[in-house]
């Protein structure tokens, strides 16, 4: 009987969102069976590749979509190394684009990539709705960008269970210039993920942690937990 259970579990398609421990940088992997999308790649080096190797089958060497939120090296520096090991079919999106596959829907609500500049103000920001969860992928958004999205009502979700499972990917590793009260009041996240390294340049800021605590948001950090994985439940 145990063998049959194990085989049944093996046959189920993997449906997860993983925030990678890539040190001081950002990378997330969205997996729906044989579909993989990455949001950012971590810094220069093999950290991004190693996260993929930890979480993808050894025989799957294809990334269907790669979204680079902006040109800062801690978000885009690992792309070259990833492309040495994986076929990346599509790279990048712009405001108004939607990536759909199976249960996955990623809506780009702000930004477009310009590798010629690295200002955080151009960051690609998206809302990922996947099964029972909604993820707010805030890249390196500034306070002004967050407030603009609130005023323009860009942060709404159609997810029926959003009140149970909203996850905020905190902007800019928890910098003080982000994660505003206006944002938290609007999306009311249950959890917040801070992608940060041990050599973290003062991130996350004390003010940011205090704001999250005021809103009773559970704070999770890659420098303390390693890869942070969310399993997706279907309706």
pLDDT at 157: 76
Q: What is the DSSP string of 147-161?
A: HHHHHTT------TT
Q: What pTM was computed for the model?
A: 0.91
pLDDT at 1: 33
DSSP character for 29?
Answer: E
What are the domain boundaries of the chain? 2-226
pLDDT at 161: 55
pLDDT at 162: 53
- The span from the CA of 1 to the CA of 9, in Å, is 13
pLDDT at 160: 52
pLDDT, tens only, 8-67: 444 567 999 999 999 999 999 999 999 999 999 999 999 999 999 999 999 999 999 999
**3-state SS assignment for residue 220:** strand
pLDDT at 201: 73
pLDDT at 119: 65
pLDDT, tens only, 170-196: 999 989 889 999 999 999 999 999 999
- The span from the CA of 184 to the CA of 205, in Å, is 16
Q: Is the pLDDT of residue 76 over 80?
A: yes
**3-state SS assignment for residue 199:** coil
- Cβ burial of 71 (10 Å; 0-12, 13-18, 19+) is middle
State the average pLDDT over residues 157-165: 63
- The span from the CA of 110 to the CA of 212, in Å, is 23
pLDDT at 185: 94
The percentage of residues in the chain with a pLDDT greater than 90, rounded to a whole number, is 77
Q: Is the pLDDT of residue 120 over 80?
A: no
For 2-226, the fitting CATH number among 3.40.50.1970, 3.60.15.10, 3.40.220.10, 3.40.50.720 is: 3.60.15.10
Q: Is the pLDDT of residue 197 over 60?
A: yes
């Amino acid at each position: 009987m145990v063998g049959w259970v194990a085989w049944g579990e093996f046959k189920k398609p993997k449906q997860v969102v993983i925030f990678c421990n890539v040190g001081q940088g950002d990378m997330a992997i969205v997996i729906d069976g044989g579909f993989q999308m990455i949001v950012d790649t971590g810094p220069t080096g093999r950290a991004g590749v190693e996260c993929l190797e930890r979480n993808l089958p050894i025989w799957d060497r294809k990334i269907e979509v790669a979204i680079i939120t902006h040109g800062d090296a801690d978000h885009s520096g690992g792309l070259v190394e990833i492309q040495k090991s994986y076929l990346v079919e599509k790279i990048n999106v712009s405001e108004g684009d939607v990536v759909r596959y199976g249960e996955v829907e990623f809506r780009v609500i702000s930004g477009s990539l310009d590798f010629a500049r690295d200002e955080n103000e151009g960051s690609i920001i998206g809302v990922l709705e996947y099964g029972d969860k909604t993820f707010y992928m805030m890249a390196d958004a500034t306070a002004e960008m967050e407030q603009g999205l609130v005023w323009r009502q860009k942060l709404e979700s159609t997810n029926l269970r959003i009140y149970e499972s909203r996850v905020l990917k905190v902007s800019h590793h928890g910098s003080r210039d982000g994660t505003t009260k206006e944002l938290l009041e609007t999306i009311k996240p249950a959890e917040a993920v801070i992608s940060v390294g041990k050599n973290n340049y003062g991130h996350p800021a004390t003010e940011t942690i205090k704001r999250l605590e005021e809103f009773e948001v559970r704070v999770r950090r890659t420098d303390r937990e390693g890869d942070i994985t969310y399993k997706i439940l279907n309706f």
